[in-house]
Amino acid sequence: MKIGTQNQPFFPEDIKEKFRYLKNAGFEGFEIDGKLLVDHLDEVKEAIAETGLPVTTACGGYNGWIGDFIEERRLNGLEDIKEILTALQQAGGKGIVVPAAWGMFTYRLPPMVSPRSQAGDWKAVSESLVYLDSIAKETETTIFLEPLNRYQDHMINTLADARRYIEENTLRNVKIIADFYHMNIEEDNLSQALHQNRDLIGHIHVADNHRYQPGSGSIDFRKLFDQLKSDGYDGYLVFECRIRGNDPEAEYLKALKHLQQCLV
């Protein structure tokens, strides 16, 4: 397994300097914003060639969720994702992280009545995934379907939820991304959930139980990494977290060392 990261405010803004910084810090991959990749593809490819640091995946950078309530926005999002997947193919990236939606609706807060039926949710997300499955096949990439916790999305909350979409729609180029923060809220047993879905897990996001940097909370990363190892996972572990502490850069690099030690 290798450790990657999303962007942070204290990383250099210049793309090539950013890649050099990440390489020197000890990260082994970069999960890039999709729009940044599309808009600066040539510069990103040059940075990859210079540093040897790969773009692992894209996350974000498109307008419209795959389960959007507004059909025009859903379709616009799909076309944005198609463009990102094409750029990822050129940059050597594995694929793109997509949830059903983020912050669009939750049953846990008022009004608690969705403007669309559960059958409608299933239809919208399934149609999006079937389309993206075909685009991923063409671009030799993967769609990483991300379950979010119940307060951020109402459609896909557990790894089992994501698995159902993949299996019932016979998707060949869609895998599950397991996010430890969301799993900590939704799964009864994190290790068991990882094991039960080992055949479909293709990507990992790491944060501690409170969404801050790994090692600052209560998640037992060594236990989860050992589970992933025993199940044969050899992909990336990508930081997706906020940072708590007076010196964000120092705390972030400390968290990197913590995860490196947990992998030993």
Q: Which residues are catalytic?
A: 146, 240
Cα separation, 179 vs 245, whole angstroms: 22
Whole-number CA gyration radius for the chain? 18
Give Cα separations from 83 to 62, 88, 231 (angstroms): 9, 9, 33
**Degrees (nearest 5) of the Cα angle 141, 147, 152?**
125
Q: Which residue has the tokens 């906020």?
A: 242
Length of the chain: 264
How far out from the chain centre does Cα 52 lie?
A: 22
Q: Structure tokens of 210? A: 């409170």
Instruction: Report the DSSP pairing between strands 55-59 and 142-146.
Output: unpaired
Q: What percent of the residues of the chain are helix, what percent strand, and what percent coil, each to the nearest 5?
A: 45, 15, 40
d(CA 82, CA 87): 9
DSSP state of 53: P
* Number of other CB atoms surrounding residue 2 within 10 Å: 14
